[in-house]
Amino acid sequence: MLGLNRTHNLIQRPLVRYSSKFNYNSLPEESKKQLDRILRVDHAGEYGANRIYAGQMAVLGKTPVGPTIQHMWDQEKDHLKKFEELIPKYRARPSALLPLWDIGGYALGFGSALLGKEAAMAVTVAVESVITEHYNNQLRDLLEKNPEKHTEILEVIKQFRDDEQAHHDTGLEHEAEKAIFYRPLSEVVKAGCRAAVWVAERV
Amino acid sequence: MLFKRLILMPRLVKTSSICLKQERTYLAVSLLNNKLRLRQISFNNNQILRFESIGSTGPINEKIQTDTLNQNESNENEESVEEIILKNALKFVPEYGFTTEAISKGAMEVGLSSAAKGIFNNGAFDLIDFFYKHSNKNLEAYLENLIQEGKIKRKNELIRSAIVYRLTLIQPYIKHWPQAMAIQTFIPSNALVSIENLLKLCDQIWHQVGDNSIDINWYTKRLTLAAVYKTTELFMIQDKSENFKDTYEFLDNRLKDLGTFNQVKSNFSNLAQAVNGSLTVLRNVLNLRN
């Protein structure tokens, strides 16, 4: 009853009631709003990143770079799982455009991988650099006001920022810069990611 | 800034000190009208005595300032003057309805001038808004207890008792609730706040009952619950039956409808799976899989 049937779960989530463990109401009003935005966009971002790697794996899964991409994908899966826990906990609203991020991410991953391993890595580098920058901005915002209330989120974002930075470096190691049209490709992807971040914060 | 004004005010307070009660009223209202929140200043006797001595000058004045300042910092959880007034105003709602008169009466109840209603820019809507949020808070505590007790386990039963409890909170004011609903709905700026309140209510219920959906279900769950709650509320204001028996029956029927809706929805997702499956078969047949 009441929408309890969930057949489509990306990752099976345990059913937990958070109300007794953590006092959401003790957060100041502005923190609630801030965390709502942050968790929505980060969840959407990790969701999209997952789909990018899924698209890349569909093409490059059987090639020598397969395991590298798989490793990064596995880390993104962990990130996504974490945000799926945090969204109900902090009563954030998930992005309404998840189907769009799903298709968009997969298409980006799949399309870039078709252009070759270097182009796929170039996309990874571009995406991860925007995400790292975005996480850094969030850390700055969270530290600005009531940092003592945000310790959990701060820890999570710090760790994920480092992971994304590592993915960025992995991409560079795998000759991302040798991709065809590296500059324009990377700029277009970066602009697209920034636009997606802007939208996902809101919708 | 508050304290600067306190210093400027002694003369006014002195001239108007006809009796202690009036003096107190005057001081409080002037501060309120200047939009200075007396958040931490409660109206107990100690405080009044302090204000009485504001008329004198010199070191005593400074002492008062620092005293009040310390107090300001210490009590964070105390209610603001606005909340105190509105809480008391609710007592007068059965008699006066959700009106500014009720607010005035509420203000007088705590010893302020009836003109204190002037601090509420939206008039009656501020009272309704306060009532709504206050009731949401009560519901949260009630539901928390219910879950802690653990007698009711099933989610839909928890949701039902949450809606029933939330409706009982309105029942004392049922005579004036249609008027309140009109004020909530027909002024656009109020309507926006009211919709937000309603969605917050549904979000809160789902959260406490234990919902961790992070996809489109998040939206459908809250919107369907909002629809059920709002239609039942509408039904209740016309319900003449004893103890709102018909309302609860109506509610049960709406919840049943939702069950059917979800069945249909899950049938659709089965359909999606079937389509997906046949596509996989097709890809296998065409040898497109690695």
pLDDT of residue A22: 67
Q: Which residues of chain A have pLDDT under 50?
A: 1-15, 18-20
Secondary structure in 3-state letters for chain B: CHHHHHHHCHHHHHHCCCCHHHHHHHHHHHHHHCCCCCCCCCCCHHHHHHHHHHHCCCHHHHHHHHHHHHHHHHCCCCCCHHHHHHHHHHCCHHHHCCCHHHHHHHHHHCCCCHHHHHHCCCCHHHHHHHHHHHHHHHHHHHHHHHHHHCCCCCHHHHHHHHHHHHHHHHHHHCCCHHHHHHHHHHCHHHHHHHHHHHHHHHHHHHHHHCCCCCCHHHHHHHHHHHHHHHHHHHHHCCCCCHHHHHHHHHHHHHHHHHHHHHHHHHHHHHHHHHHHHHHHHHHHHCCCCC
- How far is the alpha carbon of B259 from chain A, nearest alpha carbon, in Å? 4
Average pLDDT, chain B: 74
pLDDT in tens, B56-95: 333 434 444 444 444 444 344 567 888 888 888 888 888 8
Instruction: Note whether residue A176 is domain-resident.
Output: yes
Instruction: Note whether residue A15 is domain-resident.
Output: no
How far CA A182 is from CA of A116, A175, A187, in Å, comes to: 12, 11, 8
Instruction: Note whether residue A99 is domain-resident.
Output: yes
User: Where in the sequence is the domain holding A121, given as residue range(s)?
Assistant: 29-202
Chain A residues with a Cβ under 8 Å from any Cβ in chain B: 1-8, 13, 15-20, 25, 43, 61-62, 83-85, 87-88, 91, 93-94, 96, 98-99
* Size of the A and B interface in Cβ pairs below 8 Å: 85
- How far is the alpha carbon of A103 from chain B, nearest alpha carbon, in Å? 15
CATH code: domain of residue A140: 1.20.1260
Instruction: Note whether residue A21 is domain-resident.
Output: no
pLDDT of residue A108: 92
What is the pTM (predicted TM-score) of this model? 0.71
Q: What is the mean pLDDT of residues B171-187?
A: 87
How far CA A89 is from CA of A96, A136, B92, in Å, comes to: 18, 23, 38
Please state the domain extents for chain B.
2-119, 124-289
More confident: B242 or B271: B242
Per the structure, the count of domains in chain A is 1
pLDDT in tens, B8-27: 443 333 333 333 344 444 44
Q: What is the mean pLDDT of residues B21-50?
A: 42
- How far is the alpha carbon of B192 from chain A, nearest alpha carbon, in Å? 17
Which class is B124-289 in CATH?
A: mainly alpha
Known binding residues of A for Fe cation are 46, 76, 79, 128, 164, 167
Q: Is pLDDT at B45 greater than 70 in this prediction?
A: no
pLDDT of residue A1: 39
Residues of A in contact with B213 (CB under 8 A): 3, 6, 88, 94
